[in-house]
Amino acid sequence: MKYSDLAEKSVEELKTLLKEKKAELFTLRIKHKTMQLQNTSELRVVKKDIARINTAITAASK
């Protein structure tokens, strides 16, 4: 997910996307703890996506 894609979305869309990504991060963390996660780099990717979404929300609200 690129920031340029997020900058075009509205704040409401970004908030729903943020909620989905946080839920995905939660499930990935649970899988990681129970040794079911094969690719641990997915955690880092989702965390960076959440940071990008938060940055886009902050930029859109100003």
Q: How many residues does the chain have?
A: 62
| Tokens standing for residue 10 | 């509205």
- The CATH architecture to which 3-61 belongs is Orthogonal Bundle (1.10)
Q: What is the DSSP string of 1-62?
A: --HHHHHTS-HHHHHHHHHHHHHHHHHHHHHHHTT--S-THHHHHHHHHHHHHHHHHHHHH-
**Sequence ranges of the domains in the chain:** 3-61
- Give the global pTM: 0.92
Q: What is the pLDDT along the chain (62 residues), one digit of tens a residue?
A: 899 999 899 999 999 999 999 999 999 999 999 999 999 999 999 999 999 999 999 999 87
